[in-house]
Structure formats: structure tokens, C-alpha cells
């Protein structure tokens, strides 16, 4: 059965360790319940998240995130059906954005919005191939 893979970006509102911890705790609990896996790249200026799982569950999670006031200017960057998960063992892997990812200035100047779907997906494919931190 195909899975929905959805990637979105948003800007954090009130980003700090406690907020991030609460987001991850909630995501891991809900995702485990709903058979969703994925990864959240998180830093003070950007959330970039990949969700994968049953289509209805991923769509419901996306709606829940859109309503969450800890996310500002959320937008879906990629939405497609896939045959396999990139993060099968992770209800929600988290990782601070690495130095090879866009800089704060690049994000502010619209680099993320100009990125192709293939480029966005490549970020997560690269991370899926790495050993978890």
C-alpha cells in the first residue's frame, strides 16, 4: 500500500529547548499511535519536517500542525505517494540543521521557497543515509 510522504516548512514561534522538547514529545506520541514516521529539522529560524505514513493519518497530522501556534507561515513543499519510508524506525527523528543546509540569510531571502521538490527531498534522503546523532 502506498504511503503519503509530506514535507513542510514553517517558522518557529518562541523557539527554545522547552518548546522543541514539547513538540517532539507530542509528535512521537501521536506518530507512534498513527503509524507515522519522519524527521524534523529544527533551528531557531526554521522547522523543516518530513512526515510519512498512511495518507489519512499524515493529512490529519498536517492539519493539526497547521493549527499549532508554535508554527508560523507553514507551507507544504512536497506531497507524494511513496512505496517505502525514509525513516522507518523513527516516530520522529530530530536533528539541528547542519552547516550544509541553507543559512539563516538564505532562508530569509526565500531560498527554501525557490528550492525544487527534488532538492527538498534530497535533504531528507541525505539525513536518512546518516547514522542518527
Kindly compute the dihedral angle of the four CA atoms of residues 76, 131, 36, 100, in this order, to the nearest 10 degrees.
Answer: -10
Tens place of pLDDT for every residue, the chain, 133 residues?
789 999 999 988 877 888 888 888 888 999 999 999 999 988 888 889 999 999 999 999 999 998 988 888 899 999 999 999 999 999 888 876 666 788 889 988 988 889 999 999 999 998 888 765 5
Q: Which three cell numbers stand for residue 79?
A: 506531497
pTM of the complete model: 0.88
Q: Return d(Cα 3, Cα 54) in angstroms, integer.
A: 5
Amino acid at each position: 500500500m502506498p504511503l503519503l510522504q509530506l514535507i513542510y516548512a514553517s517558522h518557529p514561534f518562541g523557539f527554545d529547548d522547552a518548546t522543541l522538547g514539547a513538540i517532539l514529545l507530542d509528535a512521537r506520541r501521536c506518530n507512534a499511535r498513527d503509524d507515522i514516521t519522519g524527521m524534523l529539522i529544527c533551528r531557531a529560524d526554521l522547522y523543516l519536517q518530513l512526515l510519512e505514513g498512511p495518507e489519512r493519518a499524515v493529512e490529519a497530522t498536517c492539519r493539526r500542525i497547521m493549527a499549532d501556534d508554535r508554527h508560523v507561515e507553514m507551507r507544504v513543499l512536497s506531497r507524494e505517494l511513496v512505496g517505502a519510508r525514509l525513516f522507518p524506525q523513527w516516530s520522529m527523528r530530530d536533528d539541528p540543521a547542519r552547516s550544509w543546509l541553507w543559512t539563516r540569510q538564505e532562508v530569509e531571502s526565500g531560498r527554501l521557497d525557490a528550492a525544487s521538490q527534488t532538492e527538498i527531498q534530497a535533504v531528507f534522503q541525505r539525513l536518512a543515509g546518516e547514522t542518527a546523532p
